[in-house]
Amino acid sequence: MIRVSHLQKEFHIHQARAGLAGAFRDLFSREYKTVKAVDDISFTVEEGEMFALIGENGAGKSTTIKMLTGILTPSGGEIVINGYVPYRQREQYVRSIGVVFGQRSQLWWDLSPLESFRLLKNVYKVDDAAGERWLERLIEELDIASFVSQPVRKLSLGQRMRCEVAAALIHKPKLLFLDEPTVGLDVLVKQKIREFLRNLNETEQTTILLTTHDVSDIEALCKRVLVMDKGRLIFDGQLAELKEKWGNGTEVAFQFKKRTAPEELRAALGELPCEILRDNEFSLRVKVVRSQDMLPFVLSVVMGSFEVSDVKIKEASTEDIVRNIYSADGEVVSHG
Ligand SMILES: Nc1ncnc2c1ncn2[C@@H]1O[C@H](COP(=O)(O)OP(=O)(O)OP(=O)(O)O)[C@@H](O)[C@H]1O
């Protein structure tokens, strides 16, 4: 459905010189700096995938989405989506996609969402019985019936966002882009929107790409995650893999029936690359990095060699991982 190869976008930014003399010189010759907002990224997406594009502020997510939706023309590389090149065949292409940009509305401020939906139906030429049934389904599943006839300016952010999602889907696109769809929303509205998106993906096979700063959006919706940093794609894979790669690993806390020294545990585990931490004489923690391979081994060795009264396994949360991806100074921690 989506094929992106060696995509690039550069911006040329005018750099103002300092002081009055600098401003005077700027009148005659301007200095420009080039910013590589998107720097040679490639990925493909199959129909029906639901995935997240994440990265810290300025990583290049919005620029990427703008190129994918045909708003910006790339400086280099190629994008083919559904057989279209977005920035070249913009008019036909936008009929096949839906877009929700958190900060930009598709709804007319002084009209009710319902009136906006009817106008959009005309624009997209889906003003038939099937289009009407689809709209009714959107209204029901997004639970917006009680306020869909009020002017948009009177709606709360959560109500408006649900209407925005309906507006983006009026023409039943096969591909939906969402840029920060849950930012600023309360937990219940977030849940409603997520449930709706999950169901849409399952029943209609809609391909969904979202950018988000909210880690719980990813946990709830996406198996696949793309991580951008300084314009480059630094990770493309399953959420579970991301946890393995950037998580601090998994920690297993053992409570022993008898006093047990870390050295005894080390002797039992041999050369296994793991860290052993001591809480007290009866409890030790084992930290493993590649948990999928290591964890069963650690459990069987320790349980087989010692008398254990309790075991607790603590996996890194996605929140921890995202925090780990960006170290305190915003640099990406290198993991090979
Ligand atoms: N129109 C523009 N002109 C000049 N520079 C731009 C423009 N748009 C983006 N940039 C620069 O490109 C880089 C990537 O920005 P982009 O908005 O794509 O990042 P982002 O990952 O979406 O960040 P955020 O999470 O803050 O939205 C930044 O350095 C930004 O300053």
The pLDDT, as a whole number, for residue 50 is 94
pLDDT exceeds cutoff 60 at 329: no
Which of these three, 201, 221, 244, is where a domain ends? Answer: 244
Residue at 23 is within a domain: no
The CATH number of the domain where 302 resides is what? 3.30.70.1560
Pairing mode, if any, of strands 232-238 and 250-256? Answer: unpaired
Domain membership of residue 293 as a residue range: 249-315
Residue at 37 is within a domain: no
Q: Within this chain, do residues 136 and 103 fall inside the same structural domain, yes or no?
A: yes
Q: Are 50 and 222 in contact (CB under 8 A)?
A: yes
Residue at 324 is within a domain: no
Q: Within this chain, do residues 148 and 290 fall inside the same structural domain, yes or no?
A: no
Q: Are 148 and 113 in contact (CB under 8 A)?
A: yes
Q: In the block, which residue shows the tokens 């995509």?
A: 7
Residue at 170 is within a domain: yes
Task: For residue 64, report the distance from its CA to the centre of ligand 1, in Å.
Answer: 9
Q: Is 262 in the pocket of ligand 1 (CB under 6 A)?
A: no
Q: Within this chain, do residues 161 and 291 fall inside the same structural domain, yes or no?
A: no
Q: Are 241 and 211 in contact (CB under 8 A)?
A: no
Q: Within this chain, do residues 186 and 288 fall inside the same structural domain, yes or no?
A: no
The CATH number of the domain where 53 resides is what? 3.40.50.300
Residue at 201 is within a domain: yes
Per-residue CA distances from 268 to 262, 264, 275, 297 (Å): 10, 6, 13, 11
Residue at 24 is within a domain: no
Band (334; pLDDT cuts 50, 70, 90): very low
Q: Within this chain, do residues 157 and 70 fall inside the same structural domain, yes or no?
A: yes
Q: Within this chain, do residues 218 and 257 fall inside the same structural domain, yes or no?
A: no
Residue at 336 is within a domain: no
Q: Within this chain, do residues 201 and 307 fall inside the same structural domain, yes or no?
A: no
The separation between CA 86 and the C-alpha centre of its own chain, rounded to angstroms, equals 21
The pLDDT, as a whole number, for residue 332 is 45
Tens digit of each residue's pLDDT (9 = 90 or more) over 245-260? 766 677 889 999 999 9
Which of these three, 244, 277, 295, is where a domain ends? Answer: 244
Which of these three, 181, 216, 244, is where a domain ends? Answer: 244
Band (330; pLDDT cuts 50, 70, 90): very low
Q: Within this chain, do residues 178 and 256 fall inside the same structural domain, yes or no?
A: no
Percentages of the chain per state (helix, strand, coil), in multiples of 5: 40, 30, 30
Q: Within this chain, do residues 253 and 238 fall inside the same structural domain, yes or no?
A: no
Tens digit of each residue's pLDDT (9 = 90 or more) over 45-78? 999 999 999 888 888 999 999 999 999 999 999 9
Give me the amino acid identity at 96: S
Q: Are 246 and 333 in contact (CB under 8 A)?
A: yes
Mean pLDDT, the chain, as a whole number? 87
| Residue 154: both structure tokens together | 């009177």
The helix/strand/coil state of 34 is strand
The helix/strand/coil state of 278 is strand
| Residue 333: both structure tokens together | 């921690």
Rounded Cα distance between 140 and 146, Å, is: 10
Residue at 320 is within a domain: no
Q: Within this chain, do residues 134 and 254 fall inside the same structural domain, yes or no?
A: no
**Number of domains composing the chain:** 2
Task: Kindly give, in sequence order, each residue whose CB lies less than 8 Å from that of residue 313, ignoring residues fewer than 6 positions away.
Answer: 250, 251, 252, 253, 295
The residue nearest atom 7 of ligand 1, judged by CA position, is: 11
Task: For residue 218, report the distance from its CA to the centre of ligand 1, in Å.
Answer: 22
pLDDT exceeds cutoff 60 at 333: no
Rounded Cα distance between 242 and 256, Å, is: 32
Q: Within this chain, do residues 261 and 222 fall inside the same structural domain, yes or no?
A: no
Q: Within this chain, do residues 204 and 296 fall inside the same structural domain, yes or no?
A: no
The helix/strand/coil state of 141 is helix
Q: Which of 32, 33, 35, 66 to mutate to test the pocket of ligand 1 (most atoms within 8 A of CB)?
A: 35
